[in-house]
Amino acid sequence: MRKISIGIMGSYTIDEIHENNIIYEKAGGSPIYSSLGVYIAGGEPHVYSIKGEDFKFELPDYIKEDFILKTKNNLKFEIIINNGKRTLKLKSPGSKIDFNKIGPLGNIDGLIINPVCNEIDLDQINVLNIPLAVDFQGIVRKCETGKEITYKEINYIPYKPNYMVAHANIEEKNNGKLDIKKLLDVGFKEIIISYGDLGFEIYNKNGVLKETVENRGNYEVGNGDFLLGFYFTLRVKGVKIEEAARLSKLASQKFSIYGPNLQPLLS
């Protein structure tokens, strides 16, 4: 039986991490963390992304790169982690991902649109035959080189009948003025709002489902990307919303403890 295939569209990032008086670089972005979520949920991640010449990281074998736009400089963040709080600054900007240049998406069963800094235009996404998930983190962000990431209000979201899942954390929702009813009206069937180490809520037309995290670790980067990748894969596979939410909570707890090392633990 063919594994379910999920596309992930968004930029790779180079993350310069400042933590406990140590500075180190690692690969980041939705191609890393959403791909892990897809993989752990039993899917095969197919990446459509952009990568600079300075991106020198080795990627996990389970990531299938279907389309990579090459540029000179990769998008780069400075991430300062202090007492559980994270400060994000743009060190080097990235380029746009032109959906019209990607061509056929191949044999995928769903697509996660997960930009990090406004590199994807939702109006360009003209795929109508598969479910879509959108992470609003890189849509509500205001990214200026050398400055801390701030937020902008979102006044327009194009309607698409095949929107399935939206995700934002509570800070992104509030600062971007992402109204639940508005998201449902433009086509989304389920909206995940995450609350960091407190858990997440899933809204749909019938109400809200709450999942509270009981045992969370200290891994702070990529949690929302992982959650969306994992949950969306289960839903595309046909897992019911209540069971998908329960399993997503358990997987998110483990990700917060083990980070990217979660993969060998569950394989």
Given a cut of 70, whether residue 263 has pLDDT beyond it is no
* Helix, strand or coil, per DSSP, at residue 51: strand
Choose from 92-96, 236-240, 251-255 the range with maximum mean pLDDT: 236-240
User: pLDDT digits over 143-191, tens only?
Assistant: 999 999 999 999 999 999 999 999 999 999 999 999 999 999 999 999 9
> Do 199 and 213 meet the contact criterion of CB atoms below 8 Å apart?
yes
Confidence at residue 214, expressed as pLDDT on a 0 to 100 scale: 78
Question: 190-194 and 199-204: which strand pairing?
Answer: antiparallel
Confidence at residue 114, expressed as pLDDT on a 0 to 100 scale: 97
Given a cut of 90, whether residue 102 has pLDDT beyond it is no
**Residues 192, 224: Cα–Cα separation, whole Å:** 10
**Residues 16, 74: Cα–Cα separation, whole Å:** 12
User: pLDDT digits over 15-71, tens only?
Assistant: 999 988 889 999 999 999 999 999 999 999 999 999 999 999 999 999 999 999 999
Question: Is the model more confident about 258 or about 201?
Answer: 201
**Residues 179, 100: Cα–Cα separation, whole Å:** 29
Question: Is the model more confident about 26 or about 196?
Answer: 26
Confidence at residue 253, expressed as pLDDT on a 0 to 100 scale: 87
Given a cut of 60, whether residue 128 has pLDDT beyond it is yes
**Residues 57, 22: Cα–Cα separation, whole Å:** 19
Given a cut of 80, whether residue 220 has pLDDT beyond it is no
CATH number at residue 15: 3.40.1190.20
Question: Is the model more confident about 215 or about 113?
Answer: 113
- Residue 118's domain spans which residues? 5-266
Inter-axis angle of helices 30-40 and 241-258, nearest 10: 120
CA dihedral 190, 192, 193, 196 (to 10 degrees): 170
Mean pLDDT of the chain: 90
**Residues 42, 38: Cα–Cα separation, whole Å:** 7
**2 — pLDDT class (breaks 50, 70, 90):** low
Q: How many domains does the chain have?
A: 1
Confidence at residue 1, expressed as pLDDT on a 0 to 100 scale: 52
Confidence at residue 267, expressed as pLDDT on a 0 to 100 scale: 44
pTM: 0.92
Given a cut of 50, whether residue 132 has pLDDT beyond it is yes
Confidence at residue 20, expressed as pLDDT on a 0 to 100 scale: 80
DSSP 148: B
**C-alpha 31: how far from chain center:** 8
